[in-house]
Chains A and B, each alone.
Chain A
């Protein structure tokens, strides 16, 4: 896979050419949890792809032609079709490519995965707020809110009596929520799942997954990135390269 650890493209960069046949391209950023979802699915399904990293603090003008919202991830195929919004990209890949299906065929089980996804939706903005405020202000309120959200997820696992959110094997919903829990591991904040034992076990099981472990975020690089990113530093996205 080319480009996963390549320098990002920023303002003034030349737009990339057409996507070669047989490959799909993902516009990404090494530390973006939303893009991580798409990379995990690409890896898990063994889909041939190329990665172009975007400097999210200094976006190339041509990137807005790919996604008017200027966000990653974005998929582009050799027919010039563009898909954005991370959950939509993941579902598209599962439907368009052969091999192991990550979403269940059963309509009710599929609906359950989407309901869990909704249940998870408060975690990303909460975690980001938490990371912005750490060491600066009192974030005990945020901590409590995070605990509340984690407890909701714990309840799902407790009721299902399975290791993973979709059943006894790893499936789409696990990959969709994983990137934020990966942050907890990288920042050594595992204590946040101390009161949610099933969630803790789930995290340990996820770390053993080949796609997860091969794409695991580098903790040092992540910390370096986070510091620069929160300061709006243009070099953040390429930290460690």
Chain B
């Protein structure tokens, strides 16, 4: 059970009090990949924090005082300082807290990481058509798909509307006969992963009946 396994706060909920000293607060949602970034950094750096999950379909009125558009993730510290945009929040944590630095020290290597992130967004944004190659499925869609099929097992489609084009692409891909024919059963995949991470050699045959 992770430390963010709490019910969301929605409309009509009481606003949370000030953030206690020595802690930083994250406004989050358990399935949001953007908030997930920030949770990863908090975890990796061992930063003491508390999580408040927000009901994104029924946002509390008070939440708009934390973010003008009610987005997540948002960090709030005991000085009432608010930081939003997942990448900015992650960099803030790396800068503000001691211990292991996640961004490299070398300025060129830092720049390289930022260029790679930009590439990631460009891939997401490269779609001005349903598929990455145009209006019909083509090679590039098949080349990307395996990673997104696996991510889809974790339900990113349920999340915030950050990447509507990507969600549309995932839905369109699932209608492709080829993709359908080879779609991995979610439970079998999860069963495999479970055994795989335990280094169990039976992982590879999970789900086969014989």
Contacts and interface: CB of A to CB of B under 8 A. Distances in A.
Interface string B76-116: 01010101110011011001100000000001101110110
B108 A92 contact: yes
B92 A85 contact: no
B114 A85 contact: yes
Contact of B83 (A83, A91, A111): A111
A110 B115 CA distance: 19
Interface in B50-65: none
A191 interface: no
Contact of B111 (A91, A108, A110): A91
Contacts of A115: 83-85, 88
Contacts of A81: 108
A95 B81 CA distance: 25
A114 B88 CA distance: 7
A148 B77 CA distance: 30
Contacts of A85: 114-115, 118
Given A88-B114, A88-B115, A88-B118, A111 B107 contact: no
A118 interface: yes
A92 B111 CA distance: 6
Interface residues of A, number: 18
A119 to B, nearest CB: 10
Contacts of B122: 69
B85 A114 contact: yes
A164 interface: no
A83 B113 CA distance: 11
Interface residues of B, number: 21
A136 to B, nearest CB: 23
Interface string A44-88: 000000000000000000000000010000000000010111001
Contact of B108 (A83, A108, A110, A114): A83
Interface string A102-138: 0000011011001100100000000000000000000
A108 B115 contact: no
B92 to A, nearest CB: 4
Contacts of B110: 91-92, 95
B115 A83 contact: yes
A88 B121 CA distance: 14
B108 A111 contact: no
A27 to B, nearest CB: 15
A241 interface: no
B88 A111 contact: yes
> 6 nearest interchain CB pairs?
A107-B95, A107-B96, A95-B107, A96-B107, A111-B92, A92-B111
7 contacts: A83-B112, A84-B115, A91-B110, A108-B77, A108-B92, A110-B91, A115-B85
Given A88-B114, A115-B83, A118-B88, 14 more contacts: A83-B108, A83-B115, A89-B111, A92-B108, A92-B111, A95-B107, A95-B110, A107-B92, A108-B77, A108-B92, A110-B91, A110-B95, A111-B89, A114-B91
Interface of A: 69, 81, 83-85, 88-89, 91-92, 95-96, 107-108, 110-111, 114-115, 118
